[in-house]
Homo-oligomer: A and B are copies of this chain.
Amino acid sequence: MAKIGIDLGGTKLRAAVLSEEFEVVEWFESLSEVQRGPAHTIALMISMIHQGMEKHSISGIGIGAPGPLDNKKGILLESPNFPGWKEVSIVDELSNVFSLPIQLNNDAQAAALAEAIKGNGKGYESVWYTTVSTGIGSGFVINERLFSGAAGCAGEIGNMIIQPGGREQSNLNAGALEAYASGTAIGEIAKERYNWQGGAAEVMERAIKGNAEAIGLVDETIGALAIGIANIVHTINPAVFVIGGGVMKHHDYLLPLLRHKTIPLLYPSMVSSFKLVPAALQEEAGVIGAALLVNHS
Contacts and interface: CB of A to CB of B under 8 A. Distances in A.
Interface of A: 68, 77, 125-126, 138, 140, 142, 147-157, 159-164, 173, 227, 230-239, 265, 267, 269-270, 272-273
Contact of A238 (B150, B231, B238): B150
A148 B273 CA distance: 13
Contacts of A157: 234-235
Contacts of A140: 236
B237 A236 contact: no
Contacts of A265: 161, 173
17 contacts: A68-B269, A140-B236, A142-B142, A147-B236, A149-B237, A150-B237, A151-B270, A151-B272, A152-B237, A153-B234, A153-B270, A154-B235, A154-B237, A156-B237, A159-B230, A159-B267, A160-B235
A220 to B, nearest CB: 11
Interface of A (DSSP majority class): loop
Contacts of A77: 269
Contacts of A126: 147, 149-150
A231 B157 CA distance: 7
Contacts of A234: 153, 156-157, 159-160
B230 A161 contact: yes
